[in-house]
Amino acid sequence: MKTYLVTGAAGFIGANYIKYLLKNYEDVKIVVLDLLTYAGNLGTIAKDIDNDRCIFHRGDIGDRALVDSLFAEYKFDVVINFAAESHVDRSIENPQLFLETNILGTQNMLDAARKAWVTGRDEQGYPTWRDGVRYHQVSTDEVYGSLGAEGYFTEDTPLCPHSPYSASKTSADLFVMAYHDTFHMPVTITRCSNNYGPYHFPEKLIPLIIKNILEGKKLPVYGDGSNVRDWLYVEDHCKAIEMVVRKGRVGQVYNVGGHNEKTNIDIVRLTIATIHRLMTEQPEYRKVLKKVVMGEDGLPTIDWINDELITFVKDRLGHDQRYAIDPTKIKEELGWYPETCFEVGIVKTIEWYLNNQAWVEEVTSGDYQHYYERMYAGR
Ligand code: NAD
Ligand code: TYD
């Protein structure tokens, strides 16, 4: 039995990850540390917290006294650091918060793990480490910057971040590698492309578009919609992380991506068409529409769910043009491959949102509306 400290698991990927672990592995006990910012929602993982195999603590990864006390109480074997400020648009508004959470928070976790796990020193003065411990950092392909029409990010692509978000994730990665090189800390890093799937906060492209369609609102596409992202179903990412934690080589970076490049405008058009199709084939889904115009057949109409909802808005500052991952290393070394193709994953995702509107209402009940009015006022 190993004990994992999983930070940020009330957010999108971390929540999917602990659900994946609890379903597929019996040899793991999980302690979650999450600050429950606007992006974290305890309800998302409420059913997973049983205080036996899965325990929850609210707190900041930057709070050294708290993190030290958790290490003392639970004797963690593995740390998986998902906790972060994760939205590029918010990082343009408030870069400092990203520096504090993503850089200082990560460095705090590294130091707490070092204090708890070092057992002594070798002849050269390097720390020696408790057997079987591992620090895993969940990073992003955005650290590599932006691609033109050709090529892929490999693990050797130079780091060249552009947004305050990606600059903060890059700095965190550099600290993780510095702790490996300087202290021989057993670390690994995964750099993944854009995830999609259940529990994705509706500020990111796909869940925002779904939400706006159901409300009959305009669908904001930045610039001309030609930017490309490489989409991966979230459970495939979770599987990759667990493979790297268990079998990945210490001190290594693994890129994770599914060869699923799509332009933003294609994603938006596909989402519109899929919602229209699902509501045609299964009219009972129309009950989740917030814009209700009754038709002569006694059902809410859906003819207005079409491309005319799209509105091109002012581009994001410093908007990266294209991300695309070369996942050869994780495929060849660890046998990872993405199981969910985009065509299947996007339908699963949209159906999840249609069936879980209560979750959307719960996570957007805070100052979400106020934030959006401010965000889009300038566009
Ligand atoms: P998210 O914004 O949905 O969730 C982040 C979680 O971290 C929330 O539960 C939040 O409450 C928590 N958190 C924030 N600050 C904290 C702090 N100081 N202390 C403790 N908890 C804190 O993010 P996500 O999309 O699930 O991303 C998770 C990780 O994966 C991030 O590190 C992100 O950079 C990385 N990543 C995301 C994607 C993607 O497509 N979403 C792709 C690649 C990598
Ligand atoms: P996002 O989901 O914010 O992820 P990231 O910026 O980390 O890739 O955005 C995905 C793409 O969609 C990105 O190119 C910006 C674009 N986008 C829009 O066009 N409209 C929107 O409302 C949002 C949120 C994003």
- Report the CATH number at residue 91: 3.40.50.720
Of 34, 77, 85, 142, which is the active-site residue?
A: 142
Write out pLDDT tens, residues 295-328. Answer: 999 999 999 999 999 999 999 999 999 999 999 9
Residue 126 lies in a domain: yes
Residue 294 lies in a domain: no
Minimum-distance ligand to the CA of 163?
2
- Report the predicted TM-score, pTM, of the whole model to 2 decimal places: 0.98
The residue segments making up the domain with residue 91 are 2-199+232-259+319-340
Going by pLDDT thresholds of 50, 70 and 90, the confidence category of residue 378 is low
Residue 141 lies in a domain: yes
- Helices within the chain (DSSP H only): 12-24, 42-45, 64-74, 88-93, 95-98, 105-117, 164-183, 205-215, 234-247, 264-281, 328-334, 342-355, 357-363, 368-377
Work out the burial of residue 89: count CB atoms within 10 Å of its CB; fewer than 13 is exposed, 13-18 middle, 19 or more buried: middle
Q: Are strands 134-140 and 187-192 parallel, antiparallel or unpaired?
A: parallel
Work out the burial of residue 366: count CB atoms within 10 Å of its CB; fewer than 13 is exposed, 13-18 middle, 19 or more buried: exposed
The predicted pLDDT at position 283 comes to: 97
Ligand 1 near 324 CB (within 6 A): no
User: Does the annotation count 74 as an active-site position?
Assistant: no
Give the distance (Å) from ligand 2 centre to CA of residue 181: 35
Residue 47 lies in a domain: yes
Using CB distances shorter than 6 Å, the residues near ligand 2 are: 87-88, 194, 204-205, 208, 220-222, 227, 229, 264, 316
User: Does the annotation count 332 as an active-site position?
Assistant: no
Nearest Cα residue to atom 1 of ligand 2: 204
Nearest Cα residue to atom 4 of ligand 2: 204
Write out pLDDT tens, residues 236-287. Answer: 999 999 999 999 999 999 999 989 999 999 999 999 999 999 999 999 999 9
Minimum-distance ligand to the CA of 271?
2
Write out pLDDT tens, residues 128-186. Answer: 999 999 999 999 999 999 999 999 999 999 999 999 999 999 999 999 999 999 999 99
Across the range 343-361, mean pLDDT stands at 98
Residue 171 lies in a domain: yes
If one counts the domains in the chain, the total is 1
User: Does the annotation count 165 as an active-site position?
Assistant: yes
Could you tell me if 173 and 103 are in contact, meaning their C-beta atoms sit under 8 angstroms apart? no
The mean of the pLDDT values for the chain is 97
The predicted pLDDT at position 368 comes to: 86
